[in-house]
Amino acid sequence: MAINLFEEVNNRMGQPITKKENPSGATKKAYEKTLEGAAIPLALAGIYHLAASKEGAQRITDYILIDRTTIERPANNSCALFTFGNKTEEVIDKITNYSGATRSIAYDVLNEASRNAYQVMLRELVNDNVKPEDITRFMVAQRHTILSHLPEALQLGHLLGDETIDDVSNKMEGPISNLMHNLGESFSGSAR
């Protein structure tokens, strides 16, 4: 993986890297419930989920190629809506319930995280030959990092109908867990 999308978006938004959740009960630490700590991994997990299907990857490819100027504009407020579609309001509810932020501020931060992610994808992937498979491959390579930072309490997978997003094993770290994550990504026939 050439870049770490999670770190890139965090840096672009001026945020320190949020701590990963530790799923083991004995050493589980209280996860810091910040707006950015929810919005950034949530936006990236939404993009990952969208890129997991052929149709979604094609939509992302078209979006970053055709709507390039829209993505590059700071005033663009449609990236979150593009990512989550008719689930956007429910995603905003999850962020506000988690962080205590207002709906308006939660949407703005979610949208900014989404926009920054699409800008990084535009910079890293877009050329004359970019294909939807390239988008999917890129996001699959980012999967573990994104999901290990996604707060369990948000239950995004349940909302999107993809329970693998909320699977606690995504948060596990260590030599054996990392080996299993790498094997899973290598042999997986799909993006999920």
pLDDT along the chain (192 residues), means of 10: 86 76 49 83 96 96 86 82 96 95 96 94 84 94 90 84 65 47 49 50
Q: Which two tokens stand for residue 16?
A: 């320190």
pTM of the model: 0.81
Question: DSSP character for 104?
Answer: H
Note the pLDDT tens digit of each residue in 114-166: 999 999 999 998 776 889 999 999 999 999 899 988 888 888 888 888 877 76
159, 142, 140, 48: which is closest to 95 by C-alpha? 159
Distance, CA of 107 to CA of 125 (rounded, Å): 26
- Contact criterion met (CB below 8 Å) for 112 and 44: no
123, 125, 103: which is closest to 39 by C-alpha? 103
Residue 28 has a pLDDT of 41
The length of the chain, given as a count of residues: 192
Residue 91 has a pLDDT of 96
Distance, CA of 40 to CA of 15 (rounded, Å): 10
Distance, CA of 21 to CA of 149 (rounded, Å): 6
